[in-house]
Amino acid sequence: MAKDKQPRKPRAETPKGFRDYFGADVIERRDMLAKISDVYERYGFDPLETSAVETVEALGKFLPDVDRPNEGVFGWQDEDGDWLALRYDLTAPLARVAAQYRNDLPSPYRRYAMGPVWRNEKPGPGRFRQFYQCDADTVGAPSVAADAEICAMLADALEEVGIERGDYIVRVNNRKVLDGVFETAGLLDSEYLEDNLERVGIAIRAVDKLDRLGEDGVRAMLGEGRKDESGAFVEGANLALWQIDHILKFANAKRNTASETLATLSKLIEGSLSGLQGVAELETIAALLAAQGYGPDRIVIDPSVVRGLGYYTGPVFEAELTFEIFDEKGRKRQFGSVAGGGRYDDLVKRFTGQAVPATGVSIGVDRLLAALRAKKLERGEAETAGAGPVVVTVMDRDRMADYMAMVGQLRQAGIRAEMYLGNPKNFGNQLKYADKRGSPIAVIQGGDEAAKGVVVLKDLILGAKIAENATLEEWKDRPAQVEVPLAELVSAVQKMLAQ
């Protein structure tokens, strides 16, 4: 008789496209988001937490393929036959909330939201199916003063988390200006509009990649197409040469000052009412920002910013980090974009049937964290996020209450501390545990120390430095281990941590 097969053990592995976050990563993200929250609340924005699950209908037509709800999102059909999905971003849930609670919310409604979003897309290097976003939006304000405020707030948030002035720039444009360019290029004529919509979409995506593809790459995409990095041919917009030149003049219209840039744009879109309205809105934004002291060292008008999503209806903006980093091949490159957004006046209208103005920005949390790590490395700063607790070691099993009392004193003083809870038989293992925890200090008290009323503080950070290089000048005057009276435990630990 055949033996029953034992059930296969589940594989202990993270699903493809997902990742786990451990202590230091979680603390680093928490601290950064807390600083951003402080800025947003200073501007009068309130926090909002929405469900991670939305109906596919609420998520809307802006998904990659709304006819197949399991494409692009993690979707499923519930027992009532309704299609549900994990939220794709934080904007669609806001549109639903703004419509659902429109009689209860103040107007304008200013909210910020932070949390994970999910996209059922093919994962790749640096591309995950779950990632964090941090959004701030104003719903119900038609004035471009709301857009200017978002740009100012974004600049302040970047500086608050540690991106210095000169290492970033917030670039601003207007989709109405882009529409004016397409109109004057003959791509929005009603007679050929349906045929041209796909070409316009390709053109928008091409201009959006100007910094990555360069002018030659964008010209190719506006024309017959180009081969991508994998060697596959990507179909272009197949525009006429004069249309390509016209669009590239727009993308390169940035001049030394905002007024010069806007004058150049006005000439390019002469005859387009929509385009000229967009230029006028940019003039207002530039004036409002200048009045608050946000000069071109922080925020600039830049026509090359178009943003890829189709739901933007007015001003669009993008925060780009301008400092250089080394890529995986050791080549220097600029860090690039970490945030973007714009005005989307038609999104809430899907629910209410009435136009509801809205504008907002989304920060890529993981990218901004990566940028902050790069800046720390550049400045030679030590990693401090998620520093481990002070570990009180256990020398005598029958004195556990004494050790716990020490831990309690440290915690009451606001110091992160713990007592070793493993098998205390091998003291070396306790120190290995403290090293693995990233602990800065180990507290030691055996019977002899207890009799004298003292404790030994072992500086684990200094010990590691000495192990790396025993001749380090900056460490030579500091003892790796000190004996202090038990009554001075807290102050001695505070002093050692400060060093």
Mean pLDDT in consecutive groups of 10 residues from the start of the chain, 499 residues: 74 91 91 97 97 89 48 86 91 94 95 95 84 96 97 98 94 93 80 69 82 86 84 84 89 90 91 93 97 95 81 92 74 82 89 92 94 78 69 94 96 96 92 92 94 94 64 57 94 91
pLDDT at residue number 409: 96
At 210, the amino acid letter reads: L
CB neighbour class for 498 (10 Å; exposed up to 12, middle 13-18, buried from 19): exposed
Its pTM surpasses 0.95: no
Rg (CA), the chain: 29
pLDDT at residue number 260: 92
pLDDT at residue number 381: 60
pLDDT at residue number 472: 47
CATH superfamily label, 390-498: Anticodon-binding domain (3.40.50.800)
Class of domain 23-52+87-185+239-379: alpha beta
pLDDT at residue number 315: 96
pLDDT at residue number 462: 77
The answer to whether 207 and 304 have CB atoms below 8 angstroms apart is yes
Distance CA 498, CA 337 (A): 36
| Dihedral sign from CA coordinates of 280, 285, 291, 296 | negative
pLDDT at residue number 64: 46
Tell me whether the CATH fold assigned to 23-52+87-185+239-379 matches the one assigned to 390-498.
Answer: no
pLDDT at residue number 62: 47
pLDDT at residue number 386: 60
pLDDT at residue number 59: 85
pLDDT at residue number 286: 96
Distance CA 387, CA 366 (A): 20
SS3 at position 336: strand
pLDDT at residue number 106: 96
Give the CA count within 13 Å in the CB-facing half-sphere of 137: 30
pLDDT at residue number 191: 55
- Region for residue 205 given its phi and psi (left: phi exceeds 0; alpha: psi -120 to 50; beta: otherwise): alpha
| Dihedral sign from CA coordinates of 374, 375, 381, 386 | negative
CB neighbour class for 255 (10 Å; exposed up to 12, middle 13-18, buried from 19): middle
CB neighbour class for 266 (10 Å; exposed up to 12, middle 13-18, buried from 19): middle
Domain ranges for the chain = 23-52+87-185+239-379, 390-498
Tokens 């400092």 — which residue?
323
